[in-house]
């Protein structure tokens, strides 16, 4: 196994890589330099590297000294269209783009795993495959394209981690079965009749109708769905009108639907359109609806989840290992789990200084979480 000195040396590099990536983020489907940076190091360490997988993705393979299973480990590499507002030396140098979800940490930690595995490959039985995946943040996501390009061919089991600031740094949480929600989105375009703000009877007020829809659509969760079945419907955007004294003829809304099983997912989709239809008809308006089925729920496999929890308890202690609650965020790691056994894991990355939500302009991680991630992923690869 890895020596303490070897781990410390690697961790210094991991932190440096993470900060380099944080300074130089790239948006989904544009991760050219990030991919080149990772591939260069992998080749130097002796990995068999294939680039351009599913866009700017990387598949890297390492054969052990004896036959065995093929274990895949995945990290996502894309950033978000958010202006970095942190006052740190490693703040993003790209205007309007930052790593606000921890993907820089995922990438750096997996690079550290790659370095250590290459140094100890003579002790491995079987093969390790690393997936550095683009475009996790934007549906349809990079996982589907990577799978289409053969990223899972020959893979027996897969693991992935997500740094998570709501959990304290140094902790590990996961859950057997559904853990993260399916994330669907819709755009509703309500079409009424514009007119004078002082003569509403001559108009069909699309903003008023949209307001009714925002309230009515909430009744799907509160009155149509079994309260023991977690689900969320949120309207995140509403745009209509141009000034104070003109009734808007058209109004556009965008929302998201989060569920944990396919039956409820389809039911919610049907009910959103029914509520929109009936609300518009009540006021004499028409509508157009675009409904996009996004990532399916993340569903962990039981045997792999038990292994993760056992290894985490051995490495970090039972007091720092636990069962996750359901998370309404979504992840395209779900597509990998639909095809091979595996487990997705939350690694705590929060602290007194790293305490803002993901996707926030001040987002940061406690960098000690990088070592937790590295040790866990390395141990899972060695175990399997």
End-to-end CA distance of the chain, in Å?
14
Nearest to 342 by CA among 294, 299, 295: 299
Note whether 84 and 96 are within 8 A (CB): no
Q: Which long-range contacts (CB under 8 A, 24 or more apart) does 38-44 make?
A: 38/77, 38/107, 38/111, 38/132, 41/111, 41/114, 41/115, 42/111, 42/114, 42/130
What length is written for the chain? 384
Q: Please confirm, yes or no, whether 136 is among the known catalytic residues.
A: yes
Helices (H), 156-290: 206-219, 262-283
SS3 177: strand
- Distance of CA 310 to CAs 39, 79, 160, 377, Å? 32, 32, 16, 13
Q: Please confirm, yes or no, whether 137 is among the known catalytic residues.
A: no
Note whether 14 and 370 are within 8 A (CB): yes
- Any residues with CB less than 8 A from the CB of 104 and at least 6 apart, and which? 18, 21, 22, 25, 79
Q: How far apart are CA 169 and CA 14, in angstroms?
A: 16
DSSP 188: E
105, two tokens: 């940490």
SS3 363: coil
Of the residues 26, 31, 76, 78, only one is catalytic, namely: 78
Of the residues 31, 76, 136, 331, only one is catalytic, namely: 136
Residue 7: its H or E element: helix 4-23
Q: Give φ, ψ of 142 to 5 degrees.
A: -85, -20
Catalytic residues: 78, 136
């Amino acid at each position: 196994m890895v020596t303490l000195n070897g781990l410390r040396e690697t961790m210094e590099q991991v932190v440096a890589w993470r900060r380099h990536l944080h300074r130089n983020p790239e948006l989904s489907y544009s991760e050219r330099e990030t991919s080149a940076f990772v591939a260069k190091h992998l080749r130097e360490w002796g990995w068999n590297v294939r680039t351009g997988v599913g866009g700017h993705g990387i598949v890297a393979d390492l054969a052990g000294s004896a036959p065995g299973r093929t274990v895949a480990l995945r990290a996502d590499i894309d950033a978000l269209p958010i202006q970095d507002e942190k006052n740190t030396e490693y703040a993003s140098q790209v205007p309007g783009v930052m790593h606000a979800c921890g993907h820089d940490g995922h990438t750096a930690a997996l690079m550290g795993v790659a370095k250590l595995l290459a140094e100890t490959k003579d002790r491995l039985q079987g093969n390790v495959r690393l997936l550095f995946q683009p475009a996790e943040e934007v549906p349809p996501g990079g996982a589907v394209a990577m799978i289409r390009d053969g990223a899972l061919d020959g893979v027996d089991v897969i693991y992935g981690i997500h740094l998570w600031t709501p959990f304290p740094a140094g902790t590990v949480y996961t859950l057997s079965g559904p853990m993260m929600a399916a994330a669907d989105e819709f755009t509703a375009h309500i079409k009424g009749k514009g007119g004078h703000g002082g003569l509403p009877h001559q108009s069909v007020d699309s903003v008023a109708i949209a307001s009714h829809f925002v309230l009515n659509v909430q009744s799907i969760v509160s009155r149509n769905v079994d309260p023991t079945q977690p689900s969320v419907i949120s309207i995140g955007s509403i745009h209509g009108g141009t000034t104070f004294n003109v009734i808007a003829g058209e109004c556009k809304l965008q929302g998201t639907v989060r569920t944990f099983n396919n039956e409820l997912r389809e039911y919610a989709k049907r009910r959103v359109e029914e509520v929109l239809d009936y609300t518009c008809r009540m006021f004499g308006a028409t509508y157009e609806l675009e409904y996009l089925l996004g990532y399916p729920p993340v569903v962990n496999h039981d045997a792999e989840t038990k292994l993760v929890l056992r290894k985490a308890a051995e490495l970090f202690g039972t007091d720092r290992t636990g069962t996750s609650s359901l998370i309404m965020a979504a992840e395209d790691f779900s597509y990998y789990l639909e095809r091979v056994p595996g487990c997705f894991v939350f690694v705590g990355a929060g602290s007194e200084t790293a305490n803002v939500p993901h996707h926030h302009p001040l987002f940061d991680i406690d960098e000690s979480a990088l070592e937790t991630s590295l040790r866990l992923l390395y141990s899972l690869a060695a175990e399997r």
